Amino acid sequence: MTSKRLESPFGFRFVAPLALGSTLNPMNSTMLTTALVPIAQSLHVGAAQTGWLIAGLYMTSAVAQPTMGRLGDLFGPRRVYLVSLLLVALAGVLGQIASSLFELVLVRILIGVGTSGAYPAAMRLFRNRADALGTPPPRVAMGVMSLAAISTVAVGPLLGGLLTLAFGWHAIFAVNLPLALLAGFFVLLWIPRDPPQTQGIRVLLKEIDLKGVGLFTGFLVSLMSLLMNQKGFSWVSLAAAVVFALVLGAYSRKKDKPFLDVRMLARNKPLVVTYLRVLAVTTITYSVFYGFAQWLESSPGLSAAQAGLVTLPMSVVAAVSSVSGVRTKGLRGPLAVSIGAAVLGCAGLLIMDHASSLWLITGAFIFFGIPQGAFSTATQTAIYLQAPAKDIGSAAGLQRTFGYIGAIVAASLLSFTYASKASDLGLHELAWILGAASVVLFILTLFDRTIPQASALTSPPRHP
């Protein structure tokens, strides 16, 4: 029985390396949550400034995800996966010697590039094998990959707090080195090789839309400058963001294979709706995930390790809901339940303050585990079904891009509500904003006709 499981198309040997690689991004995200306050204290910066550690990684990932996905489609997902792991390992080394906020942001940018290759490459590998065998979407196998990432979310804040307490905040970067090398070893050992490489540098320059990447990067930098400007509203940043967006849209419509395929998005309304839902839910969950840990350390005065321990039950709920999400008959249920849980979680945040019991604090935060689990699994399946088969790597990367833009918006919300310190007032302002957004999103999801029907989950996709 064990041998059969190991040799099955989507068995242990195929899924394990992909699952291990999928932990790198959430690990780097979640361990930082309990280290932000110690980093701010060590480098003598405020809460708003440390927001650049969050936004910098996600801005880079927003650009790198679809780029790495396209590289995987062109040059082979296994090759891209291995290069990505090497970049993460390098970031683990450089993180030990970083001594300023600027240097840390650069390390986080490198991590963003490295971790961007794992998810789209894994989705490409899943699709290649399923198409070759003529099987339905491997929901359980993809669910295992999501479970690995969400399980990392469960232990990430606690691990980050313990490492920071024992060895200092530099230690949260060190774990990248052994994990990346171990994942690379298993990829070399168990993942089938890509076909022989015949593409050259000319094909790379032709297929990777460098102008589009530059325009999109300009848009994101302008957007970040607008959202994270603590000195007041910046009309210059707004104008720059609008100009970059308009030029990018016009350019992409004329380009044969643009970085941001606006024509494909215009033809695929269900995929666009899924992306926008990802952006909204990610904004909600990341705002709470990063903001809650900072509030625990700044207002109730918990240590980094204690704050990580308080967040652990939420992440366990996320892991459990991720598993349950792959066994549902449809996708609307997991999506609606996830967003409804966020509404309840925001209500819980409104009734707590620094004097509240840890039972109340932990209980309110638990609700946000469901959007991180069931929502992630359902969305992953929706992308698999809605995206054209030939572009699945790029589409998976673009899904993460929208999620990372949501993370950038979350960082700006925290900068706005917390400013120099995470206070009770700031937490309540954040809860009102996120609660209102969750209610609107819940209603829209209930009546969304673009969500794939249950019948689509039991048959191979028909996309060309």
* Whole-number pLDDT of residue 5: 45
Same domain, 224 and 81: no
Enumerate the H helices of 351-460 as residue ranges.
358-366, 369-386, 392-418, 424-446
Residues 336 and 305 reside in one and the same domain: yes
Amino acid 230: pLDDT? 66
Regarding whether 132 and 49 lie in a shared domain, the answer is: yes
DSSP 195: P
Distance CA 418, CA 413 (A): 8
Domain end position, chosen among 188, 222, 256: 256
Same domain, 125 and 249: no
Say yes or no: 213 and 197 in one domain: no
pLDDT the model gives residue 460? 52
Based on the domain organization, do 191 and 93 belong to the same domain? yes
For the stretch 382-403, what's the b/e string if a residue is b when 16 or more beta carbons lie within 10 angstroms of its beta carbon?
bbbbbbbbebbbbbbbbbbbbb
Q: Is residue 1 part of a domain?
A: no
**What CATH number did the domain enclosing 418 receive?**
1.20.1250.20
306 and 414 part of one domain? yes
For residue 421, give the DSSP letter: S
Return the number of other C-beta atoms located less than 10 Å from residue 341's C-beta: 24
d(CA 269, CA 272): 5
H or E element, residue 198: none
Total domains, the chain: 2
Q: What is the dihedral of CA 128, 133, 139, 140, to 10 degrees?
A: -110
Return the pLDDT at 464. Answer: 44
d(CA 144, CA 406): 24
**10-residue mean pLDDT series, the chain (464 residues):** 50 86 86 88 84 84 81 86 94 92 93 87 83 76 78 81 90 92 91 78 73 90 80 84 93 84 82 92 89 86 83 78 64 87 92 87 86 80 78 72 84 81 87 94 91 60 47
CA dihedral defined by 111, 116, 121, 127, rounded to 10 degrees? 140
| Any domain includes 173 | yes
Asked if the structure places residue 428 within a domain, the reply is yes
Same domain, 59 and 141: yes
Say if pTM beats, i.e. exceeds, 0.95.
no
What the block records as the tokens of 313 is 């039950």
CA atoms of 415 and 197, how far apart (whole Å): 46
> Which residue, among 12, 61, 26, 81, has the nearest Cα to 373 in the 3D structure?
26
The dihedral through the CA atoms of 412, 62, 297, 49 has a sign that is: negative
Residue carrying structure tokens 């990802």: 278
What is the extent of the structural domain holding 185? 8-208+259-458
Given 256, 287, 313, which residue is the final one in a domain? 256
At residue 197, what are phi and psi to the nearest 5 degrees? -85, 120
Question: 175 and 54, same structural domain?
Answer: yes
Among residues 342, 59, 382, 4, the alpha carbon closest in space to that of 225 is found at 59
Both tokens of 112, joined, read: 């963003």
Residue 41 lies in a domain: yes
Which residue in the block uniquely carries the two structure tokens 């991590």? 111
Tokens representing residue 402 in the block: 């929208």
Burial, 429: exposed, middle or buried (Cβ in 10 Å; 0-12, 13-18, 19+)? middle
Q: Tell me, yes or no, whether 128 lies in a domain.
A: yes
| One domain for residues 249 and 153 | no
**What one-letter code names the amino acid at 396?**
A
Residue 338 lies in a domain: yes
What are the DSSP calls for 216-260, one per residue? HHHHHHHHHHHHT-TTS--HHHHHHHHHHHHHHHHHHHHSSS-SS
**What is the rounded CA–CA span in Å between residue 119 and residue 4?**
26
Give buried/exposed letters for 217-228 (b at 16+ CB in 10 A, else e).
bbbbebbbebbb
- Distance of alpha carbon 160 from alpha carbon 313, whole angstroms: 16
In a domain, 464, yes or no: no
242 and 93 in a common domain? no
Do residues 324 and 374 lie in contact, with contact meaning Cβ atoms separated by under 8 Å?
yes
E-assigned strand segments in 81-189:
none
- Asked if 225 and 197 sit in the same domain, the reply is no
The answer to whether residue 374 is domain-embedded is: yes
